[in-house]
Amino acid sequence: MPQEYLLPASIEECLHMLAVYPGGRIIAGGTDLMLDLREGRKEAKALIDITRIGELKRISADKDRISIGAAVTHAEVAASELIRQRLPALAAAAGAVGSPQVRNVGTLGGNIVNAQPAADTAVALVALGARAVIVSAAGERQVAVEDLYAGVGRSQVDASKEILTKFIIDLWGAGDASAFARLARRRTLSLPVLNVAVRVKLKEGRCTRARVCLAPVVPRPLPCQEAASVLIGQPPTEEVIARAAAAAKQAAHPRDSLLRGPANYRKDMVEVLLKRALREAFGLPAEEDGHQGQTV
Amino acid sequence: MVKFELKVNGQEYQLEIPADVSLLEVLREYLGFTGTKEGCGQGECGACTVLVDGQAVNACLYPALKAAGAEVLTIEGLAGPGGKLHPLQEAFISAGAVQCGYCTPGMIMSAKALLDRNPTPTREEIKLGLAGNLCRCTGYNKIITAVEKAAAAINKEK
Ligand SMILES: Cc1cc2nc3c(=O)[nH]c(=O)nc-3n(C[C@H](O)[C@H](O)[C@H](O)COP(=O)(O)OP(=O)(O)OC[C@H]3O[C@@H](n4cnc5c(N)ncnc54)[C@H](O)[C@@H]3O)c2cc1C
Ligand code: FES
Ligand code: FES
């Protein structure tokens, strides 16, 4: 049982607390950790709350990149004019998390370190090519978000020793676009059956860069090179979108799941969702594909 | 146990609590604010919704010690001087938006957070604002109507 609840005001102070309280663990919003502690899935002797560290609450941009503090909440990301305009896939993903109450408290950093394969903002951050900055007593390292997974619910970030401080996302310049699509039983408070995110760059009528992420089809958000390579060098047409979506369907191997639905249905829906996301990113009209499920 | 000062409905309370106790447990078991309900205890139902610095949160998942230095508002803090009901409380009664009443405090706190931010919400915006609150009884329509009525009443008062 935790004996202390500490509220450091700086990253240095937080590292010092992690050093002097063995068994200490970082807590951000607590929307995952409070239940994990209560149900004995995780343990901590001291809880070190990072949400009063100003640097971790900041969203900033220069001409080449956007940086988002790990303790920024989903509600703040979804409402940020900068994120909505420059990284719409992330704004949409953050806006799809849980409920207003969960979004007001849950953070981007917590969503990544909690390491669920279909965490909404993780899927967007992987498609955007985000890097996580991780600080410990040993120094600082940067790791691509997709490389932070050690297994379902297990992160490479050790929350008893290290702080994920921020995410860095390079801007791709003119023609940079992104989109997120999610399939769930209802619009709020429901696990995604599937979620996908895409990022593309259009130059002189062709797609010159592309990243695609699918989840949950393996135990972590899956970057889908097969679909991305179909797009590169091609014009943003329905025919190209259809080929990329077919490639994603081919690459995805979702499992049968009582919660999320049968594998063959979800494999088909990967194709449908990716088409929706790509049409949105390319600025093409949405098309009705006859499916009644909710997406955002 | 950690010594700690919590501000609820404008009043300071001195407490000694376990480090990981939820705000919901402190409100109900330590301070007797039983208007805030526990439904699921897992963030799924919104019955425990309170405002922390004006933001709706699930008190069942919110560490009490995170509220250090913040203003917590519960359903008990909503009525005005002399117990005059808040327009949201009036509207929930007059629109018939209360059946068993278990979800009502949470619904009203979410609605308050919504109206403080957006005084003239559409029905769709009200649905999204209340999306984290479940009701087993009413079918939601009367709740949404109550929030519309309260918004109109508050805007008229201004
Ligand atoms: C009802 C409900 C609905 C939900 N719906 C969704 C949903 O639709 N989509 C979705 O993706 N998620 C959902 N979640 C999960 C959760 O809200 C998110 O994963 C949230 O982003 C977690 O952030 P947090 O700040 O609350 O993390 P916490 O619970 O504070 O922390 C989670 C883990 O990360 C560690 N940690 C947190 N921040 C850092 C950091 N900066 N550095 C190092 N370690 C850190 C903690 O030690 C802990 O192990 C839901 C949760 C609930 C309760
Ligand atoms: S009791 Fe907190 S959300 Fe259900
Ligand atoms: S009135 Fe009974 S749960 Fe809403």
Based on the fold, state whether residues B55 and B91 are members of the same structural domain: no
Residue % of chain A over a pLDDT of 70: 97
* CA A7 / ligand 1 centre spacing (Å): 18
Q: For B27, list phi and psi in degrees, rounded to 5.
A: -60, -50
Q: Where are the domains of chain A?
A: 50-170, 176-282
Is the Cβ–Cβ distance between B157 and B87 less than 8 Å? yes
CA dist A210 and B49 (Å) reads 41
pLDDT digits (tens, 9 = 90+) for A131-188: 999 999 999 999 999 999 998 899 999 999 999 999 999 999 999 999 999 999 888 8
- Judged against a pLDDT cut of 70, whether residue A290 lies above it is answered with no
Under-50 pLDDT residues of chain B: none
Confidence of residue A61 (pLDDT cuts 50, 70, 90): very high
Report the atom number in ligand 2 closest to the C-alpha of B60: 2
* CA B61 / ligand 2 centre spacing (Å): 8
CATH number listed for the domain at residues A50-170: 3.30.465.10
- Judged against a pLDDT cut of 80, whether residue A52 lies above it is answered with yes
Q: How many structural domains is chain B composed of?
A: 2
Domain end among B77, B105, B131: B77
Is the Cβ–Cβ distance between B104 and B98 less than 8 Å? yes
The pair of structure tokens assigned to B56 is 């709706």
pLDDT digits (tens, 9 = 90+) for A5-37: 999 999 999 999 999 998 999 999 999 999 999
Contact A2 B19 (CB under 8 A): yes
The pair of structure tokens assigned to A282 is 């390319």
Beta bridge pairs of residue B11: B8
Find out if CATH 3.30.70.3450 is the number for domain A176-282: no
Based on the fold, state whether residues B109 and B144 are members of the same structural domain: yes
| Chain B contact probe: residue of A34, A42, A57, A97 with most B CBs at under 10 A | A34
The CATH number given to whatever domain includes residue B11 is 3.10.20.30
Chain A hits for B44, Cβ within 8 Å: 189
CA dist A217 and A219 (Å) reads 7
Q: Give the pLDDT of residue A260.
A: 82
A-chain residue closest to B18, CA distance:
A3
Based on the fold, state whether residues B67 and B89 are members of the same structural domain: no
- Judged against a pLDDT cut of 60, whether residue A289 lies above it is answered with no
The pair of structure tokens assigned to B59 is 């008190």
**Measured between CA atoms, how close is B48 to chain A, in angstroms?**
10
CA dist A183 and A294 (Å) reads 6
**Measured between CA atoms, how close is B82 to chain A, in angstroms?**
30
- Judged against a pLDDT cut of 70, whether residue A286 lies above it is answered with yes
The CATH number given to whatever domain includes residue B126 is 1.10.150.120
Residue B64 domain boundaries: 2-77
Helix (H) or strand (E) holding A120, with range, is: helix A120-128
CA dist B101 and B96 (Å) reads 11
User: Whose structure tokens read 């929930």?
Assistant: B92
Based on the fold, state whether residues B31 and B93 are members of the same structural domain: no
